[in-house]
Amino acid sequence: MKRVALIIQYDGSCFSGWQRQKNSLTVQELIEAALFKISSQIIKTFAAGRTDAGVHASGQVIHFDIDYVIPADNYADVLNNNLPYSVRILESVEVKNTWHACYSALYRHYRYVINNGKIPNLFINNWSWHRYQKLLDEVSMSNALEGMQGEHDFFAFQKSGSNRSNSITTIKEITLRRIEDLILIDIKASGFLYGMVRSIVGQLVLVGENKITPQIFIDRWTSKKKNDVRESAPAKGLCFVNCVYKENVFKRINQNDLFPKFLIEGRS
pLDDT in tens, the chain (268 residues): 999 999 999 999 989 999 998 889 999 999 999 999 999 999 999 999 999 999 999 999 999 999 988 999 999 999 999 999 999 999 999 999 999 999 999 999 999 999 999 998 898 999 999 999 999 999 999 999 999 999 999 999 998 877 788 899 999 999 999 999 999 999 999 999 999 999 999 999 999 999 999 999 999 999 999 999 999 999 999 999 999 999 888 988 776 667 766 544 544 3
Q: What are phi and psi of 221, to 5 degrees?
A: -85, -35
Q: Are residues 18 and 61 in the same domain?
A: yes
Q: Are residues 175 and 217 in the same domain?
A: yes
Q: Are residues 43 and 116 in the same domain?
A: no
Q: Are residues 69 and 131 in the same domain?
A: no
Please tell me the predicted confidence (pLDDT) of residue 263: 47
Please tell me the predicted confidence (pLDDT) of residue 265: 53
Rounded-to-integer distance, Cα 121 and Cα 161, Å = 34
Residue 253, domain member (yes or no):
no
Q: Are residues 94 and 126 in the same domain?
A: no
Domain endpoint, select from 103, 138, 167: 103
**Rounded to 10 degrees, what is the CA torsion of 157, 107, 259, 55?**
-40
Residue 202, domain member (yes or no):
yes
Residue 176, domain member (yes or no):
yes
Q: Are residues 113 and 231 in the same domain?
A: yes
Domain endpoint, select from 103, 137, 159: 103
Residue 153, domain member (yes or no):
yes
Rounded-to-integer distance, Cα 188 and Cα 244, Å = 10
Rounded-to-integer distance, Cα 83 and Cα 186, Å = 29
Domain endpoint, select from 103, 135, 160: 103
Q: Are residues 23 and 52 in the same domain?
A: yes
CA distances in angstroms from 163 to 65, 156, 211, 236, listed in the order given: 26, 15, 32, 24
Residue 35, domain member (yes or no):
yes
Please tell me the predicted confidence (pLDDT) of residue 267: 46
Residue 36, domain member (yes or no):
yes
Residue 8: which residues within 8 A CB-CB, separation 6 or more? Answer: 27, 31, 57, 59, 60, 61, 62, 87, 88, 89, 90
Question: In 3-state terms, what secondary structure has residue 265?
Answer: coil
Residue 122, domain member (yes or no):
yes
Please tell me the predicted confidence (pLDDT) of residue 162: 74
CATH code of the domain covering residue 16: 3.30.70.580
Q: Are residues 17 and 64 in the same domain?
A: yes
Q: Are residues 30 and 75 in the same domain?
A: yes
The number of folded domains in the chain is: 2
Exactly one of 11, 52, 67, 181 is catalytic; name it: 52
Please tell me the predicted confidence (pLDDT) of residue 163: 74
- Domain residue limits at 12: 2-103
CATH code of the domain covering residue 130: 3.30.70.660
Active site includes 52? yes
Q: Are residues 139 and 189 in the same domain?
A: yes
Q: Are residues 235 and 145 in the same domain?
A: yes
What global pTM score does this model have? 0.93
Residue 255, domain member (yes or no):
no
Q: Are residues 137 and 222 in the same domain?
A: yes
